[in-house]
């Protein structure tokens, strides 16, 4: 939200009061309290009247400083608030005549007193200045007509500083120059709306900022003032955290320690998922024909997904198999399990009026109500639908008991669709939550209750959802997919941009609808997208109006899909180690180039390639002809598909549908398994250690994990006299392959 016209002039009808001068310091336990006047105080009389801000500094974890700015503290702080996982810190607090210092680990805030110069709060990582809040930065705004109030903060950007994150957004990857509001919406990937709004950003200067407000935080990223990131919230209080990791990966580590780590998802989930698609006609014979077709073409399939019409139309959700289409659901699920498949069903948190559950939910208060006591209803999506009140414990149990019944039938997991269209006007939640603050946070409670239900039923490490909506903390309940894209190269590229942005927010896993959700792709788009999709953390064939089985496109599509599914299965020792890293540190499996190479300015703006784990560079091909350009950071890079090498710099190549730039980093080890038919197997059986361009006298290491995420064996390979020497604790035979 913009409050000014240019640098000097305020927008009409706004009154703004900015922090201008330190007045007083109070230390209470481990917190520092600063009172700042919003006008100069040159005499005792000037302390009478006028606005002032109370600024509190605390340390929720080492290397994190929380700043809370309050104008009027008598206003009740709305809920819900983000859940955070805090760790006791003994901050260093010091003061002299010129400044006050608050330090958490290597991160410190220096608050300027009048004797030290103009008002300023400066944040340092070690001896390096990260950012500042100074002139016309920290303030309170009042709109005189509506009498609405806002709290504002503006943090300085340095020369060449790029801003990333703020959720899964499909516009420009670098956020400088954009105005962004945190408001979950079902807008598709071709709009500026987002399903997953995360009020966290990081920059290429080694720090991040998390605004601890679940409502519609407004960001002006080098837009209202091109030298600042401004963020504002309605009300009288603003809380944000400065998070200093020094590097992007360490910053993500700290952020996910604060807001929650991604769960470790089961190894079987990394295989190929095939969906019925949305509006297609299907029954057991149709589904079986798809599964048989994949088997006949030797294409491994791990998960089959039943989309909306497993339930009767107009009844979504009643959690009951349409008896006209699926007369024997338990037998069907058993038959598919016998073929080694896992099974997923589509759900959402909406209950249509035609559903037998609507009356039950209305009677017991399980649906969101208006302030007058009526059930809130809409015809948008399902006729007369209501929405489950996830703040009501009894409603959650009621909803999840139906999921438990489905899992008893044989369903393994759920696609948790929607959760963005949550009303805010005249709404009364069971627990008294503020509707504005629940709009985005609903997605957190919705996905958490489903994920935890699966985990309780299936056990730790075997739970997974396929979620569309999210807010901060939602990374704990994976996996998330990118929403409704289209069957074009342009949409394929915007999909990748969204995934890169989400990865900056601690989401360790991410997927998308291969070949696009809307329309039906031409065969070339399908084939290019298959390669991209199988080199994402999770891989799903899904669409809207047509089936996505490859033989409906052309026979080469079967060859392409088969090759990349089998490649992904063989890469599982490497990929599963990346998943463990995501679980333990929040580092995303598919990560932006700048996250892995923060000291290479050539990586700052790259949005058509990414790193899959630490050692594989992936550059999807976005053209029918196969033309692709990609940037290789320092060192020699080897394409693991055909063995050709490139050095540092930009490269233009042409690839057929069976190939793409998939480049191994110089001096790395890529462990590859012997099994190419499914993703969950003993990765040590027949293990191959592929060593790429390891220099004489240098060493490289890797760890292979078991299916519980525990280290099974560690390998260290050293080149001596042109030969490899291996130190390992593995008890099984392995092969070293030098490249």
Contacts of 137 (CB under 8 A, 6+ apart): 18, 19, 152, 153, 154, 155, 156, 228
pLDDT at residue number 682: 98
Contacts of 459 (CB under 8 A, 6+ apart): none
Query: Does pLDDT of 569 surpass 90?
Result: yes
Confidence class of residue 44 from pLDDT cuts 50, 70 and 90? confident
Query: Does pLDDT of 49 surpass 90?
Result: no
Tokens of 242: 């400065």
Contacts for 122-127: CB closer than 8 Å, 24+ residues apart: 123/65, 123/207, 123/242, 123/244, 125/206, 125/207, 125/244, 125/246, 126/246
What tens digit of pLDDT does each residue of 449-479 get? 999 999 999 999 999 999 999 999 999 999 9
Q: Count the alpha carbons within 13 Å of 262 in the hemisphere toward its beta carbon.
A: 31
**DSSP calls for 680-702:** -S-TTTTEEEEEESPPTT-EEEE
Instruction: Tell me the domains of the chain and their CATH numbers.
Output: 4-259 (2.60.40.1760), 267-347+393-422+433-585 (3.20.20.80)
Query: Does pLDDT of 543 surpass 90?
Result: yes
**DSSP calls for 213-238:** -SS--EEEESSSSTTEEEEEEESSEE
Confidence class of residue 345 from pLDDT cuts 50, 70 and 90? very high
Contacts of 372 (CB under 8 A, 6+ apart): 426
Query: Does pLDDT of 47 surpass 90?
Result: no
Report helix angle 329-338 to 284-296, nearest 10.
10
Query: Does pLDDT of 398 surpass 90?
Result: yes
> What's the whole-number mean pLDDT along residues 679-690?
98
What tens digit of pLDDT does each residue of 252-282 get? 999 999 999 999 999 999 999 999 999 999 9
> What's the whole-number mean pLDDT along residues 3-28?
95
Are the beta carbons of 588 and 611 closer than 8 angstroms? no
| Separation between Cα atoms, residue 703 and residue 295, nearest integer Å | 33
> What's the whole-number mean pLDDT along residues 511-518?
98
φ/ψ region of 314 (left if φ > 0, alpha if ψ in -120 to 50, else beta) reads left
Tell me how crowded residue 175 is: count the other CB atoms within 10 A of its CB: 24
pLDDT at residue number 61: 98
pLDDT at residue number 464: 98
> What's the whole-number mean pLDDT along residues 388-416?
98
Known catalytic residues are 417, 420, 484
pLDDT at residue number 77: 87
What tens digit of pLDDT does each residue of 625-645 get? 999 999 999 999 999 999 999
| Separation between Cα atoms, residue 386 and residue 653, nearest integer Å | 53
Exposed/middle/buried for residue 555 (C-beta within 10 Å: 0-12, 13-18, 19+): exposed
- The torsion of the CA quartet 101, 105, 106, 111, rounded to 10 degrees, works out to -20
What tens digit of pLDDT does each residue of 141-155 get? 999 999 999 999 999
Contacts of 600 (CB under 8 A, 6+ apart): 593, 594, 633, 634
pLDDT at residue number 624: 98
Q: Could you give the percent of the chain with pLDDT greater than 70?
A: 100
Query: Does pLDDT of 42 surpass 90?
Result: no
Q: Count the alpha carbons within 13 Å of 235 in the hemisphere toward its beta carbon.
A: 23
Q: What is the H or E stretch that residue 443 is in?
A: helix 435-458
Confidence class of residue 242 from pLDDT cuts 50, 70 and 90? very high
pLDDT at residue number 181: 98
Mean pLDDT over each residue of the chain, to the nearest integer: 97
pLDDT at residue number 46: 84
pTM, two decimals, is 0.98
Tell me how crowded residue 279 is: count the other CB atoms within 10 A of its CB: 12
């Amino acid at each position: 939200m913009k409050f000014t016209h240019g640098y000097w002039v305020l927008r009409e009808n706004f009154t703004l009061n900015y922090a201008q001068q330190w007045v007083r310091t109070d230390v209470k336990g481990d917190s520092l309290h600063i009172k700042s006047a919003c006008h100069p105080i040159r005499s005792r009389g000037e302390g009478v009247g006028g606005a002032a801000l109370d600024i509190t500094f605390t340390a929720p974890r080492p290397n994190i400083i929380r700043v809370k700015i309050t104008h009027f503290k008598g206003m009740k702080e709305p809920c819900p608030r983000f859940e955070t996982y805090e760790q006791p810190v003994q901050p260093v607090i010091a003061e002299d005549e010129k400044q006050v210092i608050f330090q958490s680990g290597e991160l410190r805030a220096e608050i300027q007193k009048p004797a030290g110069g103009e008002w300023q709060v400066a944040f340092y990582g070690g001896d390096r200045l990260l950012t500042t809040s100074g002139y016309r930065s920290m303030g309170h705004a009042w709109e005189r007509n509506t009498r609405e109030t806002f709290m504002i903060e503006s943090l300085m950007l340095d020369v060449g500083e790029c801003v990333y994150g703020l959720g899964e957004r499909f516009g420009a990857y670098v956020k400088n120059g954009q105005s962004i509001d945190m408001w979950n919406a079902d807008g598709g990937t071709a709009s500026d709306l987002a399903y997953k709004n995360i009020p966290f950003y990081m920059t290429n200067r080694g720090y991040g900022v998390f605004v601890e407000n679940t409502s519609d935080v407004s960001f002006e990223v080098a837009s209202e003032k091109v030298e600042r990131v401004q963020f504002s919230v309605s009300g009288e209080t603003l809380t944000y955290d400065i998070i200093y990791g020094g590097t992007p990966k360490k910053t993500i580590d700290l952020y996910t320690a604060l807001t929650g780590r991604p769960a470790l998802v089961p190894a079987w989930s990394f295989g190929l998922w095939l969906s019925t698609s949305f509006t297609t006609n299907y029954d057991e014979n149709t589904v079986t024909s798809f599964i048989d077709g994949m088997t006949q073409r030797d294409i491994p399939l791990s998960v089959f997904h039943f989309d909306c019409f497993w339930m009767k139309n107009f009844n979504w959700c009643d959690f009951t198999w349409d008896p006209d289409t699926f007369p024997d659901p338990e037998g069907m699920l058993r038959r598919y399990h016998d073929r080694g498949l896992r099974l997923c069903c589509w759900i959402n948190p909406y209950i249509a009026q035609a559903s037998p559950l609507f009356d039950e939910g209305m009677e017991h208060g399980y649906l969101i109500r208006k302030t007058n006591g009526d059930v809130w209803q809409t015809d948008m999506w399902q006729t007369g639908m209501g929405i489950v009140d996830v703040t009501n414990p009894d409603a959650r149990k009621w909803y999840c008991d139906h999921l438990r019944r489905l899992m008893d039938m044989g369903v393994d997991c759920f696609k948790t669709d929607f959760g963005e269209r949550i009303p805010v006007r005249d709404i009364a939640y069971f627990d008294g939550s503020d509707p504005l603050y629940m709009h985005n946070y609903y997605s957190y409670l919705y996905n958490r209750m489903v994920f935890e239900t699966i985990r309780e039923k299936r056990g730790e490490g075997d739970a997974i959802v396929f979620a569309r909506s999210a807010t901060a903390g939602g990374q704990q309940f994976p996996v998330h997919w990118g929403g409704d894209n289209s069957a074009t190269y342009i949409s394929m590229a915007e999909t990748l941009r969204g995934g890169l942005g989400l990865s900056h927010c601690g989401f360790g896993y991410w997927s998308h609808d291969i070949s696009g959700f809307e329309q039906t792709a031409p065969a070339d788009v399908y084939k290019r997208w298959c390669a991209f999709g199988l080199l994402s953390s999770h891989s799903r064939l899904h669409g809207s109006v047509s089936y996505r089985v490859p033989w409906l496109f052309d026979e080469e599509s079967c060859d392409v899909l088969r090759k990349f599914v089998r490649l992904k299965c063989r890469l599982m020792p490497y990929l599963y180690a990346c998943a463990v890293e995501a679980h333990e540190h929040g580092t995303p499996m598919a990560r932006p180039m700048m996250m892995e190479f923060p000291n290479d300015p050539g990586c700052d703006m790259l949005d058509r390639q990414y790193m899959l784990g630490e050692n594989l560079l992936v550059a999807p091909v976005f053209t029918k002809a196969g033309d692709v350009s990609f940037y290789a950071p320092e060192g020699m890079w080897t394409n693991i598909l055909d063995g050709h090498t490139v050095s540092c710099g930009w490269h233009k190549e042409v690839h057929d549908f069976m190939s793409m730039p998939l480049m191994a980093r110089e001096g790395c080890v890529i462990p590859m398994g012997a099994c190419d038919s499914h993703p969950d197997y003993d990765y040590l059986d027949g293990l191959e250690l592929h060593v790429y361009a390891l220099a004489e006298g240098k060493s490289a290491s890797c760890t292979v994990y078991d299916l519980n995420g525990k280290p099974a064996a560690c390998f260290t390979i050293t080149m001596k006299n042109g030969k490899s020497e291996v130190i390992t604790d593995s008890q099984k035979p392995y092969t070293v392959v030098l490249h």
